[in-house]
Homo-oligomer: A and B are copies of this chain.
Amino acid sequence: MTISVEKINAIIASEKATFLENYKRIVESPSVSAQHEHQNDIRETAQIAAGYLKEAGAQFVKIYETRGNPVVFGRITNKEGAPTVAVYNHLDVQPAAKGKDGWTRDPFAFTEENGRYYSRGTTDDKGPAMTALWGAKIASQLGVPTNIEFIWELEEEIGSPHFESFIEEARKDIRAESVLVSDTLWLSPSTPSITRGLRGLQGFLVRLRTGQKDVHSGVTGGAARNPITELCGLIAKCVNTTTGEILIPGFDKTWKKPSQEDIDDHVRSGFTVENFKAANKLTSLRVNTPEEVVSRIWLSPTFEVHGIAGGYQDEGLKTVVPPFAEAKISMRLVPGQKPEEIAKLFTEFAKSIIPDCEIELEHGLLPYAAPSHLAQNDYIAKAYEFGFGAKPASVREGGSIGAVVTMAEKLNVPVLFMGMSLPEDSYHGPDESFAWRQVEGGVRSFVKYFELLGSK
């Protein structure tokens, strides 16, 4: 038995309106995990998600509580004894506010324009989650025997601090022999990606308090310590601020520069600097050849400052010395590096520069290298070809998904990737969106993948 594209397309056409209604409802629930004020929205999203699992035919649905946000789990059992796969997505989203950071739309009002759906979470990662669920429902309707589980996390954007405890509790319920993660990007709108690895992450909030209030920079300037200036100094000692080279003592011993062979191998994916700049709307880069860009975004660690809070942020100048500043920093890590080791190196160095700074560690995520010789890799390639008529390229992902390493280690199963997002979807950026063609093709790809798994 082989399911035809036409058959799936007919179901998609007949169920599209219902899908969009459900999609709208879940993306409009502002499940921002980084901000405490959204705690109720996180719970609302979990309830909505559990309801969708039941509607899709899941016989087992459970919201696992953790010491942080819950994890939603469900299983559609199509045939006892048949292969079981778990699809992982996350349902929490990055912070977003209208008029801030370039948002021209209300970030939590779902709208459609030229075949794209706009709202925070449409592509990262509620859209792929809803697409996978729809694919599972259709596969089930069409008699695919594969059993399909869903693991929907609500703390991915803050580094999955309680995912391991969820896995410990839920492992008795999880039957999957493999996991498919759908939270990665295509190389370009015409080239899906088979992701061979992820960078890890270690986040830091570096705080410095030197007073209790803004003071006049004429009255106190020169004698008063300036926390923003001091944090700038620390940052400039940690990284070459022009080239991005990491200068933290001992850091260079924690990783190996990629070999030319490895770089060449990744450049063959079809990566182009022009597409990369255009998709991310970057005016200029630190480096300009595909070899150098690929080497830096996929194969090398980074040190990024996401913002420096404190002081005056509005129009013009306000001549104060602020009492407090906080540098928001993260480092991406490559296979071989351990977040704890990097956290220790940074913390010791920062304390040697500013002894009274306070460092809060965030986001410790191990890097990940995916198994490359499994049948599932072929299934993913075939599923993409069936769903989109496009051949995937083999890439790395520069981003980090904390749950991946946890699932691979604790469940002892292969974790693979079938992403649906496009580079122009504005992952973590303003006016985030997800294209209808990715939903449509994605549903077909998931049906195909489940079918191939079940035909083993």
Contact = CB atoms under 8 A, between A and B. Distances in A.
Interface in A210-237: 210-226, 228-237
Contacts of A225: 282, 284-286
Nearest to A237: B236
A210 B314 contact: no
B223 A286 contact: yes
A222 B428 contact: no
Contacts of A34: 314-318
Interface stretch (A260-268, A322-330, A433-441): A322-330
Most chain B CB within a 10 A radius of its CB, from A217, A225, A284, A317: A317
Given A276-B223, A319-B306, A218 B399 contact: yes
List the number of copies, as a whole number.
2
B94 A224 contact: no
Given A308-B308, A317-B363, A221 B332 contact: yes
A453 interface: no
A338 interface: no
A222 B300 contact: yes
Most chain B CB within a 10 A radius of its CB, from A34, A94, A315: A315
B429 A315 contact: no
Most chain B CB within a 10 A radius of its CB, from A215, A304, A353: A304
Interface string A268-293: 00000000100011111111000011
Nearest to A281: B212
Contact of A229 (B95, B226, B241, B311): B241
A199 B397 CA distance: 53
A306 B217 contact: yes
A196 B27 CA distance: 63
A427 interface: yes
26 contacts: A34-B317, A101-B322, A203-B317, A205-B316, A210-B283, A210-B284, A211-B282, A212-B283, A213-B280, A215-B281, A217-B302, A217-B332, A218-B399, A221-B297, A221-B398, A232-B232, A232-B233, A232-B308, A284-B356, A304-B321, A306-B311, A306-B321, A307-B311, A309-B312, A309-B313, A317-B328
5 tightest Cβ-Cβ pairs between the two chains A and B: A233-B241, A218-B399, A307-B311, A222-B296, A236-B236
